[in-house]
Chains A and B, each alone.
Chain A
Amino acid sequence: ETGVTQTPRHLVMGMTNKKSLKCEQHLGHNAMYWYKQSAKKPLELMFVYNFKEQTENNSVPSRFSPECPNSSHLFLHLHTLQPEDSALYLCASSQEGNSGSDEQFFGPGTRLTVL
């Protein structure tokens, strides 16, 4: 595997279900991100992890719970979601260094549908 991978690619869940999205980066980066992409809206940054520490929580509802067990893996745990949470969820990674941040590399996304 190369780059940033995400599983599953598609997920349909009811409002009472609990599910998790998984992201893995094979680039040796030290920062990882979750974005939400809804139709006709800009990408919304949800969470940022830098060196496994959460450095950003962009006012995301508590029904979304991130987990970063190591610098290569990032999870987004979902529970009691609402239909308006249906969207494409993108994971990205980048390398933070002494000279600053570099570009983000994105995974293919998970298309989530909440019924």
Chain B
Amino acid sequence: AQSVTQPDIHITVSEGASLELRCNYSYGATPYLFWYVQSPGQGLQLLLKYFSGDTLVQGIKGFEAEFKRSQSSFNLRKPSVHWSDAAEYFCAVGPFGLTGGGNKLTFGTGTQLKVEL
């Protein structure tokens, strides 16, 4: 069965500092990996995704993530955090390839990011 672990429930960083959010996954086939962000009262917005090619992927809002197959990780990074980045971040894994039944993503429990001014 597929699973996603986000070991940090809460993270606090100062504005302008760098950020890394951890994500480890368990998946038996080629994974399709995602990072989503959720602001209070909102749905999830896709930051970036990876399924093949360059293991360092760039996303929106200055975020990037690196896929490391040997470590089963897909950590999210940002060099300089802005106060508006305060939100909850979710890592997800799903099957890549024809599924015929919709993309059944498995989500982590999320990491709540607080930004100190």
A:28-52 near B, CB below 8 Å? 31, 33, 40-43, 45, 48-50
Is there contact, CB below 8 Å, between A42 and B109? yes
Q: A50-B100, A98-B98 are in contact. Are A104 and B105 (CB under 8 A)?
A: yes
Between A and B, 15 residue pairs with Cβ closer than 8 Å are A33-B102, A45-B104, A48-B102, A50-B102, A90-B44, A94-B102, A98-B98, A100-B96, A101-B96, A102-B103, A103-B34, A103-B49, A108-B41, A108-B43, A109-B41
Q: A43-B90, A108-B41, A108-B43 are in contact. Are A100 and B105 (CB under 8 A)?
A: no
**C-alpha spacing A101/B92, complex, angstroms:** 14
List of A residues within 8 angstroms of B99 by Cβ: 96, 100-101
Tell me whether chain B's interface is mostly helix, strand or loop, or mixed. loop
What band does the interface of chain B fall in when counting residues whose beta carbon is under 8 Å from A?
Answer: 20 to 34
Nearest CB in chain B: distance from A32 CB, A: 8
Is there contact, CB below 8 Å, between B90 and A107? no
B32 at the interface (CB under 8 A from A): yes
Extra 7 A-B pairs, beta carbons < 8 Å, given A50-B100, A56-B104: A42-B106, A43-B90, A48-B102, A99-B98, A103-B49, A109-B41, A109-B42
List of A residues within 8 angstroms of B45 by Cβ: 106
A62 at the interface (CB under 8 A from B): no
Q: A45-B105, A48-B102, A55-B101 are in contact. Are A101 and B95 (CB under 8 A)?
A: yes
Q: Can you name the residue of chain A whose Cβ is closest to the Cβ of B45?
A: A106
Q: How many residues of A contact B (CB 8 A)?
A: 31
Q: Can you name the residue of chain B whose Cβ is closest to the Cβ of A58?
A: B104
Q: Can you name the residue of chain A whose Cβ is closest to the Cβ of B34?
A: A103
A81 at the interface (CB under 8 A from B): no
Is there contact, CB below 8 Å, between A94 and B107? no
Within 8 Å by CB of A103, from B46, B95, B106, B110, lies B46
**C-alpha spacing A28/B108, complex, angstroms:** 28
B94 at the interface (CB under 8 A from A): yes
